[in-house]
Structure 1
Amino acid sequence: MQTTIQHLYKPSNDDNSLFYAWFLAMHTRVDIILCSRKSEGELLLVVNRIYDALCRLEKMANFYNPASELSVVNRTAFVSPVVLSEELYSMIDLCLEYNSKTLGCFDVTVHSENYNQNTIHSVHLSAGDHSICFSQPGVTINLSGFLKGYALETIRGILNEALIENALINMGNSSILALGNHPVGSGWKINDILLHNECLTTSGNDSPNRRHIVSPRNGKLVEGVKQIAVVTTDGSIGEILSTGLFAADSEQREALLGIYRQYRVYI
């Protein structure tokens, strides 16, 4: 059954009509603010497109749903190559690329059986037919540390197609896309961080009992109550970097901060 999309609409005679919608998707609450001259009905159609896109991504890449395309890959790619949808192929390809670009700190195979830092090299993509295979048993790919950032870029595409230039998308307070300007100011201020056509992505532990990021160094959950936020122009890259920086040790983190000094990082 489809989740109820709730919304409020405040019309205006100028360009600042406000549309606020919220719903549950991808295991979190999604809040959407749109500033546009479009009608209430038109904006509701845009939000429905966003909701449908998030449901599609979850059906494709949810690690915990046995019916997802990703779960089928995890069960069968060691037995024989699996032809991927174009979108899932591009997602996995990007994640493999950024394993080396984050000094191994971002690793989508950390939930594999008998994991070690070489496990990711058991994942093989074929660009010719967009297939994937695993060269050892027990390998699994988990895109949970990447998917919300990718979702932000999918939403950006929908808003661009709808010619909506001013918007704020908040997925669970950890993955945020800010386009254009707030109706009464420049950019969008989130916890004293001003965003303008940027994404804010956050990774970390908010309590000693809520740990979920695995360290590629030892395959164990990262301890400690802390969070790392990254501001980037691309949500996918932001999600990768916030996850990688959180999983990194102090030496790796210092090196990554130097490599990606063009981005704002908050620890």
Structure 2
Amino acid sequence: MKIAIQHLYRPSHEGDGLLYAWFSSMHTRVDILLYSQKPEEELMSVVERIHAALSYLEKIANYYDPASELAVINRTASICPVILSRQLYTMIDLCMEYHGKTSGCFDVTVHSENYNPDTIHSVYLSAEERSIFFQQPGITINLSGFLKGYALETVRAILNTCCIENALINMGNSSVLALGDHPAGTGWKVNFGNRLETDKIGMKQSVLLCNECLTTSGNESDGRKHIISPHDASFVEGIKQIAVVTKNGAVGEILSTALFAASPEQREALLVNLRPLLIDYFLIGY
């Protein structure tokens, strides 16, 4: 029988303990470090809550699972309005809001049939009914460029409820939440972009995070093409990556995806317009 959650625990003489746990979720590996005076059993219960919460998010918002709530919506919302769970409504509503804030560079409808930049305007959300309706057939919503960032904020809420002040959550090295401090010092040092080719000597490949999120979008090889341009519905090509540091993981995931999908001119404009939301950003391979 496969063990869903594995972990190691190391106590210290000062009463603090470091728990390292890992498991698979959302098609990636999730690594969790919790540094606290709480006993091992209590820290493991926190990890189990996180595992359950991520499993639930995947159940409702996995584009590729035909049984997910999102998949059902994609099949039926063009026939009649569909009532959404509160969490899925919140996610889609936030994505629709940031479509406007990113000048259309973040678009969850890019996988729709006969997609064009106006497709998203055929998605109708009713706050009063908490429902969604597609005003034309063939529309699909894909939250893959957003879900892990939203998951980080879900994890943050669990850690706050459980009074865990020092933690590092790493989802596939592309979505990271850092709270408080590492046992050996201030903040958490996180590496990124080290697998990408770059001709920029001295390019920064790590960042110190403290109560911040690091989210990245990009291609690590010529064969990796997974982000679709909202301008011409083609895959964004090239070995390059964008990393952003933000206070909010969901917003960070949106911004890294939008900046990667944007044209050079749009990227410059977005970096100016969205600067209040960005603590830092890195363009690698450009």
Q: What is the TM-score normalised by the length of structure 2?
A: 0.92
Matched, 1:71 2:92: no
Q: Is the 8 A contact 1:168 1:176 kept in 2?
A: yes
Whole-angstrom CA distance in 2 between matches of 1:94 and 1:227: 24
Corresponding residue for 2:258?
244
Whole-angstrom CA distance in 1 between matches of 2:64 and 2:185: 41
Q: Map residues 211-230 of structure 1 onto 2, 5 A cutoff.
A: 211-230=225-244
Q: Deviations over 1:76-120 (max 9, x none)?
A: 000000000011001000000000100100000000000000000
Q: Map residues 91-240 of structure 1 onto 2, 5 A cutoff.
A: 91-191=91-191, 192-240=206-254
Q: Deviations over 1:141-171 (max 9, x none)?
A: 0000000000000000000011000000000
Corresponding residue for 1:54?
54
SS state of the match for residue 173, structure 1? Answer: coil
Whole-angstrom CA distance in 2 between matches of 1:208 and 1:3: 35
Provide closer, same or farther for how the CA distance between residues 15 and 186 of structure 1 changes in structure 2, counting only shifts above 3 A: farther
User: Percentage identity across aligned positions?
Assistant: 67
Q: Is the 8 A contact 1:82 1:131 kept in 2?
A: yes
In structure 2, list runs of 5 or more residues that go unmatched.
192-205
Provide closer, same or farther for how the CA distance between residues 203 and 176 of structure 1 changes in structure 2, counting only shifts above 3 A: same
Q: What letter corresponds to residue 87 of structure 2 in structure 1?
A: E
Q: Is the 8 A contact 2:17 2:37 kept in 1?
A: yes
Q: What letter corresponds to residue 104 of structure 1 in structure 2?
A: G
Deviation at 1:4, TM superposition (A): 2.0
Q: What letter corresponds to residue 117 of structure 2 in structure 1?
A: Q
Whole-angstrom CA distance in 2 between matches of 1:16 and 1:188: 17
RMSD: 1.0
Runs (4+) of structure 1 moved beyond 4 Å? none
Whole-angstrom CA distance in 2 between matches of 1:48 and 1:127: 32
Whole-angstrom CA distance in 2 between matches of 1:39 and 1:3: 21
Q: What is the TM-score normalised by the length of structure 1?
A: 0.98
Whole-angstrom CA distance in 1 between matches of 2:83 and 2:109: 19
Q: Map residues 250-261 of structure 1 onto 2, 5 A cutoff.
A: 250-261=264-275
How many pairs are equivalent?
267
Whole-angstrom CA distance in 2 between matches of 1:248 and 1:180: 33
Corresponding residue for 1:266?
282
